[in-house]
Homo-oligomer: A and B are copies of this chain.
Amino acid sequence: MSEQEISIGASTGADTGTNIDDLANRLFFRLYQCANIMHKTGTRALEETRITTQQWAIIGALARDGMEEGISVGDLTRFLLVSRQNLTGVLSRLEAQGLIERVVSPVDSRSRLIRLSAKGRDVWRRDMSAKIAAFYDAALEGFSTTDKIHAIHYFDKLLTNMKRLDQGSEES
Q: Does A53 contact B (CB under 8 A)?
A: yes
Q: Does A92 contact B (CB under 8 A)?
A: no
Which B residue sits closest to A161, measured CB to CB? B139
Interface residues of A in 3-18 (CB under 8 A from B): 4, 6-12, 14-18
Interface residues of A in 144-172 (CB under 8 A from B): 145, 147-152, 154-159, 161-166, 169
Name the B residues within 8 Å of A130 (CB-CB).
Answer: 19
Which secondary structure dominates where chain A touches chain B? helix
Name the B residues within 8 Å of A154 (CB-CB).
Answer: 143, 147, 150-151, 154
Q: Does A89 contact B (CB under 8 A)?
A: no
Query: Which of A75-83, A98-106, A107-115 forms part of the interface with chain B?
Result: A75-83
Beyond A9-B53, A29-B60, 10 additional pairs, beta carbon < 8 A: A4-B64, A4-B66, A8-B60, A19-B129, A20-B132, A26-B148, A32-B35, A139-B162, A143-B154, A154-B154
Name the B residues within 8 Å of A79 (CB-CB).
Answer: 1
Q: In the complex, are the beta carbons of B28 and A38 less than 8 A apart?
A: yes
Name the B residues within 8 Å of A158 (CB-CB).
Answer: 34, 139-140, 151
Q: In the complex, are the beta carbons of A141 and B129 less than 8 A apart?
A: no
Known pairs A32-B38, A41-B165, A65-B4; A143 contacts B156 (CB<8 A): no
Which B residue sits closest to A56, measured CB to CB? B9
Known pairs A8-B42, A64-B15, A140-B24; A53 contacts B32 (CB<8 A): yes
Q: Which of B6, B56, B165 sits near A64, CB closer than 8 Å?
A: B6
**Minimum C-beta distance from A148 to chain B (A):** 4
**Minimum C-beta distance from A20 to chain B (A):** 5
Q: Which of B4, B147, B152 sits near A30, CB closer than 8 Å?
A: B152
